[in-house]
Amino acid sequence: MRIRKVETRLLEAPLAEPMGGSARRPPIRSRRLLVVRLETDEGVTGYGESYGTPRSVKAMVEELYAPFLLGADPLSGDPLARMQREGVGYHGPKGMVYEALSAVDTALWDLKGKALNAALASLLGGAITDTVDCYAASVYLGSVEEAESQAARFAETGFRAMKVKVGQGLERDRAVFRAVRRLVGEGTTLMADVNGVYDVKTSIRLGRSLEEDGLYWLEEPVPVEDVEGYAQVARALSCYVAGSEGEYTRHGFRELIERGGVDVVQPDVTRCGGVTETWAAATLASAYHRRFSPHCWSSVFGLAASTHLTAAAPTGLTVEYDAHPNPLKDALVGAQLTPVGGRLPVPAGPGLGVQVDEEAFERLTVWASEVS
């Protein structure tokens, strides 16, 4: 079996109403999905997803990675090892090169699972559970009334945990968080996500205040590069500190863990280097007695991969579930990635385990580019 085609594709679907945002992201008006699809000479396909900017990822996939992929045996570790050694190695350990590699790497794992008729979790050593906890993401920035409306909808659909975006100033952050707590009650787990916009002292003040209302974790309290700041916040608070979707590879997470910066490790499989590097981060989390909870937003193939990874991880805690409208996900995989009672079933099929609606895949495509 040999890889004969490497395709990069952007899909998009408009939203009925703008959605969002966070302290770092304005509201969005459509859902987008950036996919790498690998195809073998036996007709087996593998899918991966990237968080990166579409045209940049396309260029990197075609110029950096496709030369290592075309003609390679997907069941061999050689193409991935060569890409990491010879492709990525010259361009640094972080950033867009890894966001592009993330999609390629995940597609290779999906291919391997399908070729061997084995689910991704099985390839990683086996699922510990067939469903995983998930939390609703997110109660976005806005007024108290808007926050209450979103939280009520999440609670009505069965979520027992949800994340609240903060970063609007301490007074407003407190008001929003406390309003959500009053609405959902003490039985619902609440997290707060700073998205790295505060400094150490501000995040400590916020965390201590929200702890009075049962804060479970404070996410990305400071910018991702401020590793010492993470550690200072973690030492000062009683709640967990979680991070970081903006970190890359096992090496970045090793430093964050060893410096005492995080209690909950949050790699994003569409950014940090794909399944390979996310699994390495999960293994590090286990070795250092930290919990593993992958970041996952606006994702189809990334969500499927994150579910498998959490199910197989020794310290897997919960999966982030984007609980806002996503017509792309609905059209491509229907109800396959839908939680029930706050738990997400691990896809049972080979590879990532999801069946893609090919008609919808073509219909929602904005552009596609391939090399063969």
Cα 168 versus chain centre, distance: 24
CATH topology of domain 122-345: TIM Barrel (3.20.20)
Token representation of residue 119:
């689910």
**Tens-binned pLDDT, residue by residue, of the chain (372 aa):** 999 999 999 999 999 988 877 767 788 899 999 999 999 999 999 999 999 999 999 999 999 999 999 999 999 877 777 777 777 777 777 889 999 999 999 999 999 999 999 999 999 999 999 999 999 999 999 999 999 999 999 999 999 999 999 999 999 999 999 999 999 999 999 999 999 999 999 999 999 999 999 999 999 999 999 999 999 999 999 999 999 999 999 999 999 999 999 999 999 999 999 999 999 999 999 999 999 999 998 779 999 999 999 999 999 999 999 999 999 999 999 999 999 999 999 999 999 999 999 999 999 999 999 999
Q: What is the fold of 3-117+356-371?
A: Enolase-like; domain 1 (3.30.390)
Convert 53-86 into a string of H (helix), E (strand) and C (coil). CHHHHHHHHHHHHHHHHCCCCCCCCHHHHHHHHH
Burial zone of 156 (CB within 10 Å; 0-12 exposed, 13-18 middle, 19+ buried):
exposed
- Residue boundaries of the structural domains of the chain: 3-117+356-371, 122-345
Q: What is the model's pTM?
A: 0.96
Please list, in sequence order, all residues whose beta carbon lies within 8 angstroms of the beta carbon of residue 1, skipping any fewer than 6 positions away: 40, 41, 42, 44, 73, 74, 75, 115
